[in-house]
Amino acid sequence: MPYMPTFIVIGAPKAGTTALYHFLQAHPQIYMSPIKEALFFRYTPEKLRTLETRHAIRSLETYQALFDGITDEKAAGEASPQYFHSPAAAANIKKHVPDVRLVALLRHPVDRAYSQYMLHVNAGRAPYRTFETHFREALPHRAAWTSMPYDCYGLARSFYYEGLKRYFDCFPREQIRVYRTEDLTAHPASLLADLYGFLGVDATFQPDLARRSNVGGGLPRNRLLHQLVVGKNGLKDPVKRVVPAAWWHRLNRFLLRQTRTPKRTLPPEIRAAFFEVYRDDVLQTQALTGLDLRAWFPSTP
């Protein structure tokens, strides 16, 4: 009998879903899809038929096969942060798994946008400049953010209300759990206990909380050297072919540390100024979810 997930982590992107995936995967009563980002529900059926062959999950049968490894686990899930902003995902999930439980992580919108911009810079897909410069130059074009390349390199994806409302419109509130990324970082044990309980598994289980995933860095120290490490035509692909996977993982992390500046925190005044772009959306998101987001607001002098 084919299996379907009992829960799905829907995002948001760059909000800690990779760390959450590993914490869920560590639980002995939870089966996680071996492909973290299945993306199957992201597309309309028409779009799925036109996708390039590199997109492996193009049919319901292929998607269900991700869960063939289930044995006696009480819960099964996948994590695709791209579902969060997909216009099609909520309705697709509702059609195929109406009883599924949904989990969302929300991160301070400016921090999330900064993290995604740094991802694009380090991948060579965004301008080689500071986040502050990028944000200020993008502000006059805010109405066109969603149509710019990469959603203006992530700025538009820090608006949460519209994406979440699709799910609240499709599913009963009791099937949706929304958390703050900051709580996963500061109080992981209590958040995970609540999440495990929500998913119907042993809430007393404690995973290795020391593990950190997708820890990014700052800007490349040297653009040419950085491209040799991460670029498609650089050193990465030939080295990966001859170096064992475990060694490559360590070598890759070492090389990235050498080619990037240390990750820096945005100055409070910059963070506060940019937050104003998202203020109304945060208020709407707070009212929709009941989640206390007051800590995101700049403190008044």
pLDDT digits (tens, 9 = 90+) for 267-281: 888 899 999 999 999
pLDDT of residue 87: 94
Write the CA distances from 159 to 108, 117, 234, 294, integer angstroms: 10, 15, 35, 16
% residues pLDDT > 90 (the chain)? 58
b/e burial code for range 155-172 (CB count within 10 A of at least 16 → b)? bbbbbbbebbebbbebbe
d(CA 54, CA 150): 20
pLDDT of residue 176: 98
| Region of poorest pLDDT, from 45-54, 144-153, 227-236, 237-246 | 227-236
179-219: pLDDT as tens digits: 999 999 999 999 999 999 999 999 999 999 886 655 555 56
- Following DSSP, what letter does each residue of 5-21 receive, concatenated? -SEEEEE-TTSSHHHHH
Least Cα distance to 10 among 75, 65, 69, 91 occurs for 91
pLDDT of residue 104: 98
CA 106 to chain centre: 9
Report the pLDDT averaged over residues 80-101: 96
Report the pLDDT averaged over residues 32-50: 87
DSSP helix/strand/coil, 250? helix
pLDDT of residue 61: 93
124-140: pLDDT as tens digits: 677 767 888 889 988 98
Write the CA distances from 211 to 20, 21, 111, 208, 225, integer angstroms: 10, 12, 21, 6, 28
Least Cα distance to 272 among 240, 296, 247 occurs for 296
d(CA 141, CA 189): 41
Confidence tier at 259 by pLDDT (50, 70, 90): low
What are the strands, taking DSSP E only, across 41-169?
A: 75-79, 101-106
Q: Which residues, 6 or more positions from 266, have their beta carbon under 8 angstroms from its beta carbon?
A: 110, 111, 114, 131, 132, 274
- Which tokens belong to 29? 């009563």
pLDDT of residue 58: 82
DSSP helix/strand/coil, 106? strand
> Which is more confidently placed, 117 or 21?
21
pLDDT of residue 9: 98
pLDDT of residue 169: 98
Indicate whether 55 pLDDT > 70.
no
d(CA 155, CA 169): 25
> Which part of the chain is CATH 3.40.50.300?
7-109+159-212+279-296
Report the pLDDT averaged over residues 150-159: 85
Indicate whether 56 pLDDT > 80.
no
Indicate whether 223 pLDDT > 80.
no
pLDDT of residue 24: 98
pLDDT of residue 112: 96
7-109+159-212+279-296: what fold? Rossmann fold (3.40.50)
* Residue 210, number of CB atoms within 10 A of its CB: 6
232-242: pLDDT as tens digits: 555 556 666 66
pLDDT of residue 119: 82
pLDDT of residue 268: 87
> Which is more confidently placed, 63 or 143?
63
